């Protein structure tokens, strides 16, 4: 006598890539955040490390240039710099709406 154990359908269900009736399971949207890195002469997105504008942007939606390209879409949550010449005061002056990473904290 053979005993069959029945498992829940969610465990044994399989979606075949060739099946035209396969349903797509959508995961919740994930927001990517990044540091706006302000340098001596240029700025970049801390997520993808591609150039970005300093002022007037809250997300990295565009890589500036002669032929602008789409950015990674990360939301800027703070500012920082890899240059010792760019001080926290300079970062605050450039983007007063964003905190300086490691400097401006509420706690």
Residue range 16-44, pLDDT digits in tens? 444 445 555 555 677 899 999 999 999 99
d(CA 17, CA 24): 10
Cite the beta strand spans of the chain per DSSP E. 33-38, 43-45, 62-63, 69-70, 75-80
**What does the pLDDT average to over 13-17?**
45
Write down the pTM of the prediction. 0.68
Closest CA to 91 of 33, 46, 32, 31: 46
* Measured CA angle at 79 (ends 76, 80), to 5 deg: 135
pLDDT (tens digit per residue) in 55-105 = 889 999 999 998 999 999 999 999 999 899 999 999 999 999 999 998 766
d(CA 25, CA 55): 38
């Amino acid at each position: 006598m053979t005993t069959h154990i029945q498992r829940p359908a969610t465990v044994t269900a399989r979606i075949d890539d060739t099946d035209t009736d396969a349903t797509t399971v959508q995961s919740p949207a994930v927001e990517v955040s990044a540091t706006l890195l302000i340098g001596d002469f240029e700025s970049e997105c801390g997520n993808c490390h591609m150039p970005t504008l300093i002022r007037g942007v809250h997300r990295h939606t565009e890589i500036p240039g002669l032929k602008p390209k789409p950015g990674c879409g990360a939301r800027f949550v703070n500012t920082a710099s890899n240059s010792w010449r760019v001080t926290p005061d300079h970062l605050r002056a450039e983007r007063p709406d964003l905190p300086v990473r490691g400097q401006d904290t509420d706690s």
